[in-house]
């Protein structure tokens, strides 16, 4: 799966060379004679300060780390391109949207929010979805999330939110988890967070893959055309792969089995040539809509249902290239919401306004120099002409005597016609620390999100809240939260109260505005209503043993190839197995390193001897019992029935099992897998919530 690092050109750093006699050098290019031993007096003597080779090496090592991002520290970036479907010149002059078929290079970084750089991928958390478009008129950064709303309405509360969400300052834990008192204390005292909390307690916060998530710009922006006419816009990324999440119990186990699950998934799918795609959708609206909409379009805790403003798909993003170097690209990429281009403009969303300060500021802290835009990953791919100069690590320096404007020697000059100009919105009002009255409804859209979910998803939300609040030690915080839930949906509140073992219902939280119960469900807000209805890009784990029926395996492989499903072979040892016809089959995982949580569905194809041997292996039984508990489809051959029995599974319990008797059974199995999970099984594998 790994690429060889490419050798640089002359004058550049060569990391690897096909010449076995090439010589390691210092940073100064001095050839090194011994890279194993430091310079000493005698064989047991002290090391000499004179050893410039070791000093340079250790000095550099000591300074390898840069501060991790204060939020979104754990991320994964890849390259791709955006292809414009049709000219949008009527609504925007943004160069990227002028020509059908135009391809614009881009870099995407997906992330979690709360955890440190080394935290696990399957934390229950919001996912960052940041895209840097290298357009011909400068870089445009669309720094979004996989959730369309946010916790707070004014950026002044962001440090409080993040302090509360991250590890507590005295203990330094929990890591990458909001299931603790500080987070829920802050949330319970912040009614505006309720809509977002419904999302973070939904399966959106435990995606199966970055490839199966939507992305949202969150804020309202403006598009401005050549005549200066502005249209409001919300940006939305729709994955062509469909939406999919995991179950919480599965997430917890994936974190143990493969903390890099999301990174590996994206890396592998791109390396295998299966390039994930998203379509960019625009929700366009004007002042008329703004005036009649129930909520304020500048309030980042609200979304605009697609039923009210349909999405227009204007292009597609294809992710087709992994990075050469994680640090140089993923770690050093510097997104700034303030990076916009002519034809796109900000709105007065108070969160966006503060973000526009924060991102530039934080990059200076992280990257240590105002010249971070000169790093290749951050540099625009269009010409740049300015008189900014010097500073730490300046690599692109002005030539000639002129470093000011105006000057009488020549250009560049400002250009009022083509240069970026802000939309001339007329504004007036008293200076003050305001919170608009139009931001005061905190529960209506939270309720709308809840009633838009299937009952399965509603159960997951209740389970998530019960799990999280059960980790909260202070009873009054739990009670206050249930009080908020009562303003969202009383049955939901009751379910959570029951799950928390509350004997009496706490009073509803005080609401600034009553909940609008008449808002209709919006089916687009549900994951299960927007599944892929195929098994493409998903993964089947096949547990095998020596003597496994080769015909059965071949039929599974052929059917998987037809579906576009990836398969992995899990065997008793990493050496693989000898199948029924004596042919050797390589393994991808040894059984204890390839638990079923890593796969979307599983199959067991074993010989009678293999089944008897695996029946004593705890991880083989876990493979099946977890697949069952995680509602996965299970295919098996006759000899595997012993393993099912040992794992305590009755295969007649539901429609999720396919016995592989004849070659057509494999295709039958994959057809079932289109549903991704056996949702009807859910009630059989857990106590009622």
Residue 145 bears catalytic tag: yes
Options 72, 74, 204, 208; binder of ligand HDE; rule CB under 6 A:
72
Q: Of residues 14, 37, 60, 72, which has the active-site annotation? A: 72
Query: Which candidate in 139, 145, 146, 371 is catalytic?
Result: 145
Which of the ranges 115-123, 229-237, 347-355, 594-602 carries the binding residues for ligand HDE, by CB under 6 A?
Answer: 347-355
Helices 248-257 and 618-629 pack at an angle, to 10 degrees, of 150
Pairing of strands 539-544, 601-605: parallel
The verdict on 158 binding ligand HDE (CB under 6 A) reads yes
Q: Of 112, 145, 245, 545, which one interacts with ligand HDE (CB under 6 A)? A: 145
Q: Which stretch binds ligand HDE (CB under 6 A): 11-19, 144-152, 552-560, 605-613?
A: 144-152
Question: Considering the rule CB under 6 A, would residue 155 count as an interface residue with ligand HDE?
Answer: yes
**208 Rama sector, left if φ>0, alpha if ψ -120 to 50, beta otherwise:** alpha
Please state the closest distance from residue 21 (CB atom) to ligand HDE, in A: 41
Tell whether residue 92 is a contact of ligand HDE (CB under 6 A): no
Question: In the complex, what is the shortest distance from the CB of residue 153 to ligand HDE, in angstroms, rounded to a whole number?
Answer: 10
Determine, following the binding rule CB under 6 A, whether residue 195 of this chain makes contact with ligand HDE: no
CA gap 316, 34 in Å, rounded: 52
C-alpha–C-alpha distance, residues 426 and 53, integer Å: 63
For residue 139, the cross-strand partners are 134
The string of DSSP letters for 495-522 reads HHHHHTT-SSPPPPPP-SS---TTPPP-
State the residue number with the nearest CB to ligand HDE: 128
351 binds ligand HDE per the rule CB under 6 A: yes
The answer to whether the peptide bond before residue 406 is cis (omega within 30 degrees of 0) is yes
Does 80 engage in binding with ligand HDE (CB under 6 A)?
A: no
Per CB under 6 A, the segment of 67-75, 98-106, 500-508, 677-685 that binds ligand HDE is 67-75
C-alpha span between 442 and 448 (Å, rounded) = 11
Report in angstroms how near the CB of residue 186 gets to ligand HDE at its nearest.
14
Q: Is 556 in the site for ligand HDE (CB under 6 A)?
A: no
**Packing angle, helices 158-165 and 350-367, rounded to 10:** 60
Residue 304 C-beta: closest distance to ligand HDE, Å:
15
Go through 606-641 and write b for each residue having 16 or more CB atoms within 10 A of its CB, e for each that does not. Answer: bbeebbeebeeeebbbbbbbbbbbbbbbbbbbebbe
Residue pair 339/141 in contact by the 8 Å Cβ criterion: yes
Cβ-Cβ contacts under 8 Å for 681 (sequence gap 6 or more): 628, 631, 653, 654, 656
Window contacting ligand HDE (CB under 6 A); options: 37-45, 142-150, 455-463, 627-635 = 142-150
69 counts as binding ligand HDE under rule CB under 6 A: yes
Q: Is 484 marked active-site?
A: no
Interacting residues with ligand HDE between 94 and 113 (CB under 6 A): 109, 111
Q: Which stretch binds ligand HDE (CB under 6 A): 56-64, 352-360, 404-412, 428-436?
A: 352-360
Nearer Cβ to ligand HDE (351/601): 351
**Vertex 64 angle, CA 58 and 70, to 5°:** 150
Of 684, 553, 550, 571, which is closest to residue 620 (Cα–Cα)? 571
So which residues are the catalytic ones?
A: 72, 145
User: Where do contacts with ligand HDE occur on this chain (CB under 6 A)?
Assistant: 69-72, 75, 109, 111, 128, 130, 143-145, 150, 155, 158, 218, 300, 333, 335, 351, 354-355, 358-359, 362
């Amino acid at each position: 799966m790994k690429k060889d690092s490419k050798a640089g050109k002359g004058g550049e750093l060569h990391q690897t060379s096909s010449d076995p006699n090439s010589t390691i050098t210092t940073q100064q290019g001095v050839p090194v004679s011994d890279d194993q031993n430091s310079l000493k007096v005698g064989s047991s003597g002290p090391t000499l300060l004179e050893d410039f080779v070791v000093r340079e090496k250790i000095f550099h090592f000591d300074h390898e780390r840069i501060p991790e991002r204060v939020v979104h520290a754990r991320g994964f970036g890849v390259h791709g391109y955006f292809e414009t479907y049709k000219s949008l010149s009527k609504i925007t002059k943004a160069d990227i949207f002028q020509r059908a078929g135009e391809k614009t290079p881009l870099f995407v970084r997906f992330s979690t929010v709360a955890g440190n750089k080394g935290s696990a991928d399957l934390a229950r958390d919001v996912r960052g979805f940041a895209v840097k478009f290298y357009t011909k008129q400068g870089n445009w950064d669309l720094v979004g999330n996989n959730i369309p709303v946010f916790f707070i309405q004014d950026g002044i509360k962001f440090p409080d939110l993040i302090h509360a969400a991250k590890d507590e300052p005295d203990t330094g834990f929990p890591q990458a988890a909001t299931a603790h008192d500080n987070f829920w204390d802050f949330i319970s005292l912040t009614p505006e967070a309720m809509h977002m909390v419904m999302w973070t307690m939904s399966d959106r916060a435990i995606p199966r893959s970055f490839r199966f998530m939507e992305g949202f710009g969150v804020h309202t922006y403006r598009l401005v055309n050549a005549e200066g006419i502005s249209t409001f816009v919300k940006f939305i990324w729709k994955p062509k792969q469909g939406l999919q999440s995991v179950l919480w119990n599965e997430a917890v186990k994936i974190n143990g089995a493969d903390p890099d699950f999301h990174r590996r998934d994206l890396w592998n799918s791109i390396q295998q040539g299966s390039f994930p795609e998203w379509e960019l959708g625009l929700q366009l609206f004007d002042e008329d809509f703004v005036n009649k909409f129930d909520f304020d379009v500048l309030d980042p805790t609200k979304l605009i249902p697609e039923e009210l403003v349909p999405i227009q798909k204007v292009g597609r993003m294809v992710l087709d290239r992994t990075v050469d170097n994680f640090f140089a690209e993923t770690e050093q990429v510097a997104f700034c919401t303030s990076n916009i281009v002519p034809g796109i403009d900000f709105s007065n969303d108070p969160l966006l306004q503060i973000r526009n300060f924060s991102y530039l500021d934080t990059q200076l802290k992280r990257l240590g120099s105002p010249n971070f835009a000169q790093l290749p990953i951050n540099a625009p791919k269009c010409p740049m002409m300015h008189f900014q100069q010097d500073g730490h690590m300046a690599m692109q320096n002005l030539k000639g005597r002129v470093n000011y404007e105006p000057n009488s020697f020549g250009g560049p000059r400002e250009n009022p016609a083509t240069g970026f100009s802000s939309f001339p919105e007329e504004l007036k009002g008293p200076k003050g620390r305001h919170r608009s009255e139009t931001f005061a409804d905190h529960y209506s859209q939270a309720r709308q999100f809840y009633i838009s979910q299937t009952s399965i998803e509603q159960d997951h939300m209740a389970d998530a809240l019960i799990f999280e609040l059960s980790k909260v030690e202070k009873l009054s915080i739990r009670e206050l939260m249930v009080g908020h839930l009562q303003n969202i949906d009383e049955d939901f509140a009751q379910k959570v109260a029951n799950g928390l073992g509350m004997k009496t219902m706490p009073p509803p939280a005080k609401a600034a505005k009553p909940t609008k119960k008449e808002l209709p469900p919006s089916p687009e807000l549900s994951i299960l209503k927007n599944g892929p209805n195929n098994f493409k890009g998903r993964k089947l784990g096949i547990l095998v043993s020596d003597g496994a029926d080769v015909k059965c395996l071949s039929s599974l492989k052929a059917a998987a190839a037809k579906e576009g499903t990836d398969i992995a072979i899990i065997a008793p040892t990493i050496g693989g197995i000898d199948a029924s016809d004596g042919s050797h089959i390589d393994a991808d995982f040894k059984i204890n390193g390839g638990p079923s949580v890593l796969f979307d569905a599983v199959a067991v194809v074993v010989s009678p001897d293999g089944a008897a041997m695996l029946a004593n292996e705890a991880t083989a039984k876990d493979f099946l019992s977890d697949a069952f508990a995680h509602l996965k489809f299970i295919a098996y051959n006759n000899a595997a029935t012993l393993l099912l029995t040992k794992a305590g599974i009755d295969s007649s319990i539901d429609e999720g099992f396919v016995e592989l008797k004849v070659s057509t059974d494999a295709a039958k199995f994959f057809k079932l897998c289109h549903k991704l999970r056996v949702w009807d099984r859910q009630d059989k594998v857990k106590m009622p919530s």
